[in-house]
Chain A
Amino acid sequence: MFDTVLIANRGEIALRIVRTCRDMGIISVVVHSTVDGDSAAVRAADRTVQIGPPSAKLSYLYPPAVIEAALQTRAQAVHPGYGFLSENPDFAEMCVDSGLTFIGPTPQVMANLGDKSAARQLMADAGLPVMPGTGSVVQTADDAVRAADALGLPLIIKAAAGGGGRGMAVVSKREDFLKLFRMTRAAAQTAFGDNRVYLERYLEGARHVEVQILADAHGNVVHLGERDCSVQRRHQKLIEEAPAPRLRPGVAERLGEYAVRGARAVGYQGAGTFEFLVRGEQIAFIEVNARIQVEHPVTEMVTGLDVVREQLRIAAGEPLMLTQETVKVNGVAVECRVNAEDPARGFAPCAGRLTEFVAPAGPFVRVDTYAFPGAVVAPDYDSLLAKIIAWGQDRDEALNRLKRALHELRVGGQGMHTTAALVADVLDAPAFRAAEHHTGLLDQLAAPTERGHVPAVAPPPALTATSVA
């Protein structure tokens, strides 16, 4: 096992990784920008290195600074967390070239899965169900219109370089197609430096269900069950739960089998997530997230397994200690994300110093956050403030505990707003309680309410959303 691991991330996930390092007796090194010099992760870490200014491009997204910090502190491995450099095959390769272990899949596998169009084809070849779509990217407007007419509506335009809910547009009217095609290409160019897009039939009224897998360097692959992440606002997840409620008989088993088969087919190594759309008996593969995900705690709560610990063990070359038979799902865990955003102003991110922060606690509640009174919510990064997770023996118990926990949350600061009231409303929504919801739930709830969290201005297009999956 490594004795020193560098964490190339910030916020709650950096702190989360530091904690498992401490559990395992591993020295943690946290790199940070100048605004994060007094962050919770920096306070908790064994060692820290300031790597750059607030702009992520010059700090958390700047490979030479991260690698130099790792070499300086004699770290043997780099944990990239989620977002930032976590799915950057060039960075993974630079780590390897510098004698560092990148905690994740090999650069080649990352590159294959990072192109969403290519990944879709790889998984189709491996026998996973995919929605009908263009087998590869569409270049010209003429080609796109022809392909769209052949596919039929509704359809979804996806950026090949996108992922994590970014770089997508749903087309339900033919006259909107060209406009959305051009917008998606332009936005993808801006966001990812890559304007290639592909088209897929869009599965309306579907649930978003994903499977957590672990794959070691010795050919062992297991899945840790599924998560339902159907409560989304503009393709960004708000509430996630494990296991997925009210799936038709046999669907969960098929999802797990597909994920393991897909992971084997591409030689996956590490922790990863296979995302699917599910409607009734129908299953369609969406993408693979080749990293730890924001919502991994719900899987940890129902399986009793530490996903970060498994990542570290796999990266160190150790074989999985578990088999599919030993993975047991116990009870239900539900997570809600609280973002520092102002629902009354089109979910604009809020920044500033927190004057008050009281985290929920109590029986069967877990809170993953970097917040504390005095902590800085920097305008330079994504708006995730806290993840509140509750466990129960059944779904109702878990949801009631999550409501209780959400009620205890206190966040204060000049101009500071959160999405807490919005998620509380979702927890009360009859469709959600009955688990009859799908990814369109938030649109259905968009009627004005007393809490006034309906956007006063048009929300930004999904491509500009700042959170990561």
Chain B
Amino acid sequence: MTAMAARTGAISRADPADQSQPAALLAAFDHVLRTAPTPPCRVLVQWGELTLEVSWPAGPTTTATATGTAAAAPSASVGDPPPEPGQVAEERTTITAPLVGAFFRCPEPGAPAFVDVGDVVELGQEVAIIEAMKLMNVITAEKQGRIVDVLVADGAPVEYGQALFVIEPVEEG
């Protein structure tokens, strides 16, 4: 029924006006490492969109908080189910359901799906609809990446936090 997923602290979406991004990023990273109770098990740094992801092994609840000009609030993704071993590559992440409801892949019956396997989605791009209490809630990508799997059948009920899509990062040109 449940499992503790690896907790991920993500620092991204820096203020584009900030000219000292790399330095601020490193400062934030340094702060995260110093304040975290345990060493991370994985670090991902990207320069283009300015992404810094630090993951810790699953364990007792503690969340490191990063502060600094380049730091957004770290997000703890406790609700995400753990990736199937060997099935989902380590850098892959999921788009999860933010509410309980029925999952729909198309804006309306008969219309083409919002996204399909192989599509590259941008941050904020519409990927699905979840209908709850007769209201259509548009689900958007929380980060840029390529859709590598669709985990839920069209029209199926979904729980809060249920993984809907698997996405992997794409190299910036």
Contact = CB atoms under 8 A, between A and B. Distances in A.
* A, B bound: yes
Interface of A: 34-35, 37-38, 42-43, 48-53, 59, 64-65, 67-69, 72, 352-353
Given A64-B132, A65-B99, A68-B132, A52 B160 contact: yes
Nearest to A66: B100
A200 B64 CA distance: 49
Contact of A35 (B60, B78, B99, B162): B78
Given A51-B160, A64-B133, A69 B100 contact: yes
A50 B157 contact: no
A42 B1 contact: yes
Nearest to B60: A353
Nearest to A31: B100
A34 B133 contact: no
The 8 closest A-B pairs by CB, nearest first: A37-B2, A50-B159, A34-B79, A72-B157, A38-B2, A68-B100, A64-B133, A68-B132
Given A37-B2, A72-B100, A49 B159 contact: yes
A72 B2 CA distance: 20
Nearest to B99: A65
Contacts of A37: 1-2
A53 B79 contact: yes
Contact of A50 (B101, B102, B161): B161
B110 to A, nearest CB: 24
Contacts, number: 52
Nearest to B159: A50
Contact of B100 (A38, A42, A65, A353): A65
A79 B163 CA distance: 28
A352 B79 CA distance: 18
A34 B60 contact: no
Contacts of B101: 68, 72
B84 to A, nearest CB: 18
Contact of B160 (A35, A65, A67): A65
A68 B134 CA distance: 9
Which of B133, B160, B161: most chain A CB closer than 10 A? B160
Contacts of B60: 352-353
Interface string B46-73: 0000000000000010000000000000
Given A50-B161, A53-B79, A64-B133, 17 more contacts: A34-B79, A34-B160, A38-B1, A50-B159, A51-B100, A51-B159, A52-B160, A53-B160, A59-B160, A64-B132, A65-B100, A65-B160, A68-B99, A68-B133, A72-B100, A72-B102, A353-B60
A149 B65 CA distance: 53
Contacts of A34: 78-79, 160-161
20 contacts: A34-B160, A35-B78, A37-B1, A42-B1, A48-B1, A49-B100, A50-B100, A52-B100, A53-B79, A53-B160, A59-B160, A64-B100, A64-B133, A65-B160, A67-B133, A68-B101, A68-B132, A68-B133, A69-B100, A72-B157
A64 B101 CA distance: 10
A98 to B, nearest CB: 8
A35 B2 CA distance: 10
